[in-house]
Amino acid sequence: MSDNAADPATEAFVAHRNLLFTVAYEMLGSAADAEDVLQETWLRWVKVDLEQVRDRRAYLVRITTRQALNRLRTMTRRRESYVGPWLPEPLLTSPDVAEDVELAESMSMALMLVLETLGPTERAVFVLREVFAVGYEEIAAAVGKSPAAVRQIAHRARRHVDARRPREAVSQSETRAVLESFRRALDTGDLQGLLDVLAPDVVMVGDGGGLKQAALRPVTGAEKVARYIIGGTGRVPSTVTADQTVVNGNPALVMRLDGELDGVLAVRVEGARITGLYYVRNPEKLTRVESETPLTR
């Protein structure tokens, strides 16, 4: 990248970098891949004749979307050989992300997993339309479809996501309170305390990526999940600590064994109970939970 601060291409890219990263991450669920997409976006952006560009922000989003779509198609194949369940890479986020309710919801582990069930083009259309409020014409240019087709795709994707997203919005303070009850039960090995905070049909998903131990299939049901958690912490001779943090704009726990980072536990809360537990232990996905990643819309 040029060091010349007066260079308009560099200025525009730097000005919108956090937005472009957020778009790429929402589409890919991986910070490492989002960074690669930004690099590819930059290489294309410097070849553009800026005199011909009416809206630099929109043009940059278009390039980023195309590069993210290309990568998403190859990642789908890569996921097929992934060991055990795949979860998005957790990002430590600043308070302003949590304050943007729509952005925080779209980045929650629960919704990111719903986005995984969309096809690449559907996901791109949904993210651009619902999260970033991009116009249909602009989305059409980014995904190579007609505006009419994009409208249909957006409608279909929204219906698909709405059917799978939490039925009721839960405030950050409610989530923190539920998470605190869970943490206390975890600290004391209180099986009944865990059962009280877990929904009967709770699902726990662990991502070790074959590098750390994790259940190779989701664990379902309060009794099974509670016993799995208590059994897991009971087997570990180390001191287990859980500290509340904000990951992907939502309350979560950072888990440490003898002070060493072990994983990030995100939750989905409905009706004052935990309906989803998402535990990322894969060390390759834990590089962004010690310092904040700036995200924006």
Neighbours of 239 (CB within 10 A): 9
Whether the predicted pLDDT of 113 surpasses 80: yes
Q: What is the pLDDT of residue 2?
A: 46
The alpha carbons of the chain give a radius of gyration, in whole angstroms, of: 20
Whether the predicted pLDDT of 1 surpasses 80: no
* Amino acid present at 33: D
Give per-residue pLDDT as tens, 230-257.
887 656 667 889 999 999 999 999 999 9
Give per-residue pLDDT as tens, 57-90.
999 999 999 999 999 988 877 788 899 999 999 9
Q: What is the pLDDT of residue 231?
A: 83
Mean of the pLDDT values across residues 3-28? 89
CA angle 69, 72, 77 (to 5 degrees): 140
Mean of the pLDDT values across residues 131-149? 96
| 13-22, 23-32, 56-65, 79-88: segment of lowest average pLDDT | 79-88
Stronger pLDDT, 191 or 239, i.e. the higher one: 191
Domains plus CATH for the chain?
Answer: 1-81 (1.10.1740), 172-285 (3.10.450.50)
Mean of the pLDDT values across residues 6-25? 94
Q: What is the pLDDT of residue 238?
A: 73
Q: 275 in helix, strand or coil?
A: strand
Q: What is the pLDDT of residue 233?
A: 67
Indicate the Cα dihedral angle 199, 201, 207, 213, nearest 10°. 90
Give per-residue pLDDT as tens, 267-286.
999 989 999 999 999 999 99
Whether the predicted pLDDT of 4 surpasses 50: no
Give the pLDDT band of residue 169 (cuts 50, 70, 90).
confident
Q: What is the pLDDT of residue 225?
A: 97
Whether the predicted pLDDT of 197 surpasses 50: yes
**C-alpha–C-alpha distance, residues 28 and 5, integer Å:** 30
